[in-house]
Amino acid sequence: MRIIAFAWTTPALLAGEKTCTRRDWSPEYARRFKAGDLLAAYDHSPRVHGHQVATIRLTAAPEWSNKYPDDDYWNEGFDYLTTQGAKVDGITPAALWGSWVSERPYQWIVRFELAELAR
């Protein structure tokens, strides 16, 4: 099973509040993923001693896009993380989202559902 790490957004994933992630993957790598695929969700990369925390199921193939619809603020789990006081590299989820919206970088948008929590 392929692995995807969530790092600082792991709490939103585990709370069922994250159903979307954006990735800077190569096109070749992104094309390996299809709707229905199961992925092992890790809190950090196994290379830095991360652990599997859940299994997710892709609800669509990754999409190459620079669209940032308002709903994706919630789908990324940023609203949940804001209520938890989370920050990444010293900035709030809202500030990170704001930079994405203003800069509109192309990224692979990966949509998924939480299939099960790891035991």
pLDDT tens digits for 85-102? 999 888 999 999 999 999
Distances (CA, A) of 82 to 9, 76, 79: 11, 11, 5
Residues whose CB falls within 8 Å of the CB of residue 87, separated by 6 or more in sequence, listed in order: 93
Place of tokens 């979307």: 20
Please report the domains of the chain, with CATH numbers, ordered by start residue.
3-117 (2.30.130)
pLDDT category, 45, cuts 50, 70, 90?
A: very high
pTM: 0.94
